[in-house]
Structure 1
Amino acid sequence: MHIEHSPFLGWTVRDWATAYRERSLTPDSLLTLLEALPAGDPAWISLVEREQLALQLAELEQRLTAVQGDLEQLPLYGVPFAIKDNIDAAGWTTTAACPAFAYSAERDATVVGKLRAAGAILIGKTNLDQFATGLVGTRSPYGAVPNSFDPDYVSGGSSSGSASVVARGWVAFSLGTDTAGSGRVPAGFNNIVGLKPSKGLLSTTGLVPACRTVDCISVFALTVSDAQTVATIAGGYDATDPYSRPNPNTAPVAVGSQIRLAIPDTLEFFGDSQNRAVFERSLAAFEALGAHICTIDFAPFKQLAEQLYYGPWVAERTVAVQDVLARMPEAMDPVVRGIVENGRAYTACDAYEAEYLRAALSRQINDSLAGFDALLVPTSPTLRTLEQMQQEPVLYNAQFGYYTNFTNLADLSALALPAGLRSDGLPAGITLIAPAWHDRALADLGKRWQNHLNLPLGATGRTLSAPLPPCAGPSEGSVRVAVVGAHLTGMPLNFQLTTRNAVLVEQTLTADHYRLYALAGTVPPKPGLARSDSGSSIIVELWDLPIARFGEFVAEIPAPLGIGTLNLADGRSVKGFICEPWALSDARDITEFGGWRAYIASLQNA
């Protein structure tokens, strides 16, 4: 049966949630999805058995009962998903695309357990370049996964199957991994979103390692909102993973209205004029969104990228598969075996020298990104056919990683986005890259990009049913602060917000029970806001301030001002500036001006 016969073609997480909330669907409808899956699809290594599905549905019913039927507490209730077959799920076989390596997992990987606890239903495990070594999607004994737009072309890897099943609409999201670009290249080749989180944000406990110090579990989805939702649920510090890290909550949680993008000073497409054309259109589209674009020196990025496959980090891959390599090398894909065998040539001295170089280049890279919201690059410079990959399996693989291989070595976060179709009908993508922990800010910008273009979702033919919603309240990891005077945009103390990565959310009004005063003797001039029974609405700006920077900000606020809770005209409550009553006796009541800017303007015009 073809996918066009499935009633759930291309449903997003939001679509599934709406159907369950409106009771037009029940989770046992997933049996219909299972029956629609075509036999022999190389994107899958294993599919859920009917008995496994029935067990998951029974567990889901128990979870729903435990929360007294409140679907809000199960944000992924009944949503089907897939995982790359180097990630464990209890009761499933993990192969890493090497049958001789296969084992039965006794417990869920940490991320899988979190997704199931949120109500998600595992449909299957997906094909990959063996041991996650490759960016092509062809190095698997289970077959090459074809591009979802044209089967003559590669799907990209190593997370080939995970990208394919999302692009074709079989599941709402999937998990992949990303060491050298495996969570981004297949997203670009299949017209979907690929979220490569900051290292340590998603636990790697239960993952078959490739390069353990730089491995990341990644998320594929049709929309940025879905990818962000999944990453938020699956993420968090995990003490069982020695490379897990708690989010310091110091990074910006959104991107301001003035977008600042860096691009490489030299762009490489290896002769692919169609990918170049899509990237040039993307630059114009970002400029239409108001972005300011500057070039930066790409040489350190390129030099660091070369270390991942042409330096001692290859030895990490050797360590990961050393048992298979020693006992049954013939079980490995010849190209994969050739790559990991090279790791034996490096010494401990080589490794330390490479680490010193990595640290130096990483510092250069992160310094060069300061002042920008993101580095904008093509997800891949080019796209190749399956036949071409057979002719040059290593060279073309390296080309695919030109804009991806450096990311984890430099401790960066990344978000791959669809950018439109080439003139031959094949997709091309772009990627936004930023320092670690800028994941939320990249997602914010990614939503704006996806709303702006409104491209077809994957290969499903569907488009967004409604614009992706911005965050209604303060983003996780931030405090929403209302400012009323000297901290407003363009005012003398606004730098106390911007230098702490705060982002302007909106201008709005307080509730109508406040009075505004010009305080006497303050430098720079400052207002005081006080609650009153005979008040009025006052103009304020709302800023999202990283929660770890909130204490620094408050520490700089002088008496008689402080931070309390303000009521807004629309009923929301936020943190904001308030004034102690004793300072108001000699202050001028300026409520009639409706806001601090109008009062300052009146002084300048007097």
Structure 2
Amino acid sequence: MGSDVRGDQGISRGPSIGPSIAEILDSHAGGTGSPVKTATRVADAIAARGDDGTWLSTVPRDELLAAAAAIESRPGARTLPLYGVPFGVKDSIDVAGVPTTLSCPDYAYIPETTAPAVQRLLDAGALYVGKTNLDQFATGLNGTRTPYTVPRSVFGGELISGGSSSGSALAVALGQVPFAVATDTAGSGRVPAALNGVVGFKPSRGLISTVGLVPACKSLDCLSVMAGCIDDVDRVFDVMAARDDADSWYRDRGPRYAGGPIRVGLPPVAELEFFGDDAMRAAHLGFREQLERQAVIVEVSLAPFLAAGALLYQGPWVAERLVEFGDFLAEKPDSIHPVVREIFRSGLTYTAVDAFAALQKLQDLKAEVARLWQHMDILVVPTIGTTFTVEQVLDRPIDCNTMLGHYTHFGNLLDLLGVAVPLGVTSDGRPYSAMLLGNALSDDTALTLAAQILDEPRAAAAAADSAVKEQV
């Protein structure tokens, strides 16, 4: 399936991760940098790229520098956990006074208030840079379903960026911002992270408020975080995860990792699907061999997980999108991307009987999966089984999208959390990534294993308990 994306000298392109949050904070504290200097670097980096499909809107340069200066002059700002740290926001999440477009100009509106999760970042001293591109109405995993510039992966070769949070992944992979806010209903945060070589963290649903997010499937929606390392994820998550009584899906965070061995579930190799991509298969199996030498391994069948995933787009959950977008589909169908419009219309074919039958089937699968968590802590699978070029996706938009979601579609249906962990490149220079899946509220255990895989200490986690207690 894949194409060779190596340059003329056989050197693979890939992410150019910029300074981490810790490095930015150190520079601001030590005087070698400042929020204004950081803002200048960000503005220059974005301007140098031009319109590459990463951003749908950005704060004008003079306003960005003024906002950074205002952070510098804020009383007590230097003690804030994200003092002057720049970030982007997926354009399905509200920022007051900035159009929320969902990559559909005719749908756009200007919100009066900022989504609480984003406001917490601003209150923590972070610097809002702009809105990032997405598959229209957050419907898709490939990044091509947009009327704006279609983004490409940082690995070149005309590879897709992945979606729907395409711009959020690219903004981090290009080194423009250390983190970006994304969403993940069916893989929309993890797939583009995998295709651009960054960390994509989809926490347990309900830990980060979804108020101010335009719903895709409200019962499944989840804000997620793109970052260059686990430490950055920790820092951002500890700010964003907080009680919001206006969010009816809210729940408290689970326990911190208690130490000791992490039992890792691995599916039988015969159950893994790479869609004929031998290079991706070899890369993932090589990673598994390393993991088997380092962790306590439990063999776990993927069958119930995949059965749940099949319900998402081959079942009535697609109709949930019409709760939010049904009127717009009826009134302005021509304003919707043709592939997205086809998906929306497919939701009209389901009945209440279909919905209840699917809910009952899902409950059976949840019970089956719940028993598996008694024997493992984290399930490890590929994040994606193969990659595609933009041309391949445009030729077969539904089929390619289904393959991209093979390992992600079941996540929120089964109430799991997920971390996409970048592992490098295949023999032909394409990105590969492992996905760590955990039962709801085991976020800290999954992040601990992700840090171990990346050989990264988790200094932020030890200090995070007190921060979380202060937020609740």
**TM-score normalised to the size of structure 2?**
0.91
Q: Establish whether residue 385 from structure 1 lines up as the match of residue 393 from structure 2.
A: no
What is the CA distance between 1:201 and its match in structure 2?
0.5
CA contact (8 A) 2:186 2:410 kept: yes
Q: Establish whether residue 16 from structure 1 lines up as the match of residue 12 from structure 2.
A: no
What is the CA distance between 1:473 and its match in structure 2?
4.0
CA contact (8 A) 2:42 2:177 kept: no
CA contact (8 A) 1:366 1:410 kept: no
What is the CA distance between 1:474 and its match in structure 2?
6.8
Q: Establish whether residue 371 from structure 1 lines up as the match of residue 375 from structure 2.
A: yes
Q: Establish whether residue 468 from structure 1 lines up as the match of residue 460 from structure 2.
A: no
SS in 2 for 1:194: strand
The structure with higher relative contact order (CA 8 Å, sep 6+) is 2
Q: Aligned match of 2:42 in 7, 23, 33?
A: 33
What is the CA distance between 1:471 and its match in structure 2?
5.3
Q: Establish whether residue 53 from structure 1 lines up as the match of residue 59 from structure 2.
A: no
1:154-553 aligned within 5 A:
154-247=160-253, 249=254, 251-256=255-260, 258-265=261-268, 266-288=271-293, 290-451=294-455, 467-470=456-459, 473=462, 476=465
Residue identity opposite 1:448 in structure 2 = Q
The CA deviation string for residues 44-95 of structure 1, in whole angstroms up to 9 with x for no partner, is: 10011235324522542353x1x2x5x33x1111111001100111111110
What is the CA distance between 1:370 and its match in structure 2?
1.9
Deviates more, 1:77-86 or 1:279-288: 279-288
Residue identity opposite 2:286 in structure 1 = R
Residue identity opposite 1:364 in structure 2 = E
Cα RMSD, aligned residues only = 1.9
- The separation in 2 between residues aligned to 1:127 and 1:233, in whole angstroms, is 24
* Structure 2 spans left out of the alignment, 5+ residues: 1-15
The CA deviation string for residues 485-522 of structure 1, in whole angstroms up to 9 with x for no partner, is: xxxxxxxxxxxxxxxxxxxxxxxxxxxxxxxxxxxxxx
What is the CA distance between 1:142 and its match in structure 2?
0.7
* Structure 1 spans left out of the alignment, 5+ residues: 1-7, 452-466, 480-606
SS in 2 for 1:94: coil
Count of residue pairs the alignment pairs up: 448
CA 1:315–1:118 in structure 2 vs 1: closer, same or farther (change >3 Å)? Answer: same
The CA deviation string for residues 565-605 of structure 1, in whole angstroms up to 9 with x for no partner, is: xxxxxxxxxxxxxxxxxxxxxxxxxxxxxxxxxxxxxxxxx
CA 1:472–1:374 in structure 2 vs 1: closer, same or farther (change >3 Å)? Answer: closer
The CA deviation string for residues 15-41 of structure 1, in whole angstroms up to 9 with x for no partner, is: 101101111111111124213322212
CA contact (8 A) 1:162 1:175 kept: yes
CA 1:270–1:435 in structure 2 vs 1: closer, same or farther (change >3 Å)? Answer: same
SS in 2 for 1:104: coil
CA 1:215–1:273 in structure 2 vs 1: closer, same or farther (change >3 Å)? Answer: same
CA contact (8 A) 1:196 1:218 kept: yes
- The separation in 2 between residues aligned to 1:328 and 1:477, in whole angstroms, is 49
CA contact (8 A) 1:253 1:478 kept: no
CA 1:9–1:410 in structure 2 vs 1: closer, same or farther (change >3 Å)? Answer: closer
What is the CA distance between 1:470 and its match in structure 2?
3.9
SS in 1 for 2:403: helix
Aligned equivalent of 2:4: none
Aligned equivalent of 1:505: none
SS in 1 for 2:159: coil
What is the CA distance between 1:298 and its match in structure 2?
1.4
CA 1:137–1:255 in structure 2 vs 1: closer, same or farther (change >3 Å)? Answer: farther
**TM-score normalised to the size of structure 1?**
0.71
- The separation in 1 between residues aligned to 2:369 and 2:420, in whole angstroms, is 19
- The separation in 1 between residues aligned to 2:407 and 2:379, in whole angstroms, is 10
The CA deviation string for residues 73-129 of structure 1, in whole angstroms up to 9 with x for no partner, is: x11111110011001111111100000001112111111100011111011111110
- The separation in 1 between residues aligned to 2:466 and 2:401, in whole angstroms, is 38
SS in 2 for 1:429: strand
CA contact (8 A) 1:188 1:418 kept: yes
SS in 2 for 1:93: coil
Residue identity opposite 1:271 in structure 2 = G
CA contact (8 A) 1:255 1:442 kept: no
SS in 2 for 1:305: helix
Residue identity opposite 1:324 in structure 2 = F
1:590-605 aligned within 5 A:
none
CA contact (8 A) 1:255 1:445 kept: no
* Percent of residue pairs identical: 42
Residue identity opposite 1:385 in structure 2 = T
SS in 2 for 1:413: strand
Residue identity opposite 2:240 in structure 1 = A
CA contact (8 A) 2:35 2:69 kept: no
CA contact (8 A) 1:261 1:291 kept: yes
What is the CA distance between 1:9 and its match in structure 2?
6.2
The CA deviation string for residues 144-194 of structure 1, in whole angstroms up to 9 with x for no partner, is: 210111141111111011001101111000011000001101111111100
What is the CA distance between 1:259 and its match in structure 2?
3.1
- The separation in 1 between residues aligned to 2:406 and 2:418, in whole angstroms, is 14
- The separation in 1 between residues aligned to 2:113 and 2:28, in whole angstroms, is 28
- The separation in 1 between residues aligned to 2:36 and 2:400, in whole angstroms, is 44
What is the CA distance between 1:255 and its match in structure 2?
5.0
CA 1:77–1:151 in structure 2 vs 1: closer, same or farther (change >3 Å)? Answer: farther
CA 1:472–1:216 in structure 2 vs 1: closer, same or farther (change >3 Å)? Answer: closer
- The separation in 1 between residues aligned to 2:17 and 2:449, in whole angstroms, is 27
- The separation in 2 between residues aligned to 1:76 and 1:166, in whole angstroms, is 16
Residue identity opposite 1:34 in structure 2 = A
Aligned equivalent of 2:6: none
What is the CA distance between 1:350 and its match in structure 2?
1.5
CA contact (8 A) 2:264 2:380 kept: yes
- The separation in 2 between residues aligned to 1:477 and 1:277, in whole angstroms, is 43
CA contact (8 A) 2:204 2:417 kept: yes
CA 1:471–1:26 in structure 2 vs 1: closer, same or farther (change >3 Å)? Answer: closer
SS in 1 for 2:265: strand
User: Which structure has greater strand proportion?
Assistant: 1
Aligned equivalent of 2:9: none
Aligned equivalent of 2:10: none
1:577-592 aligned within 5 A:
none
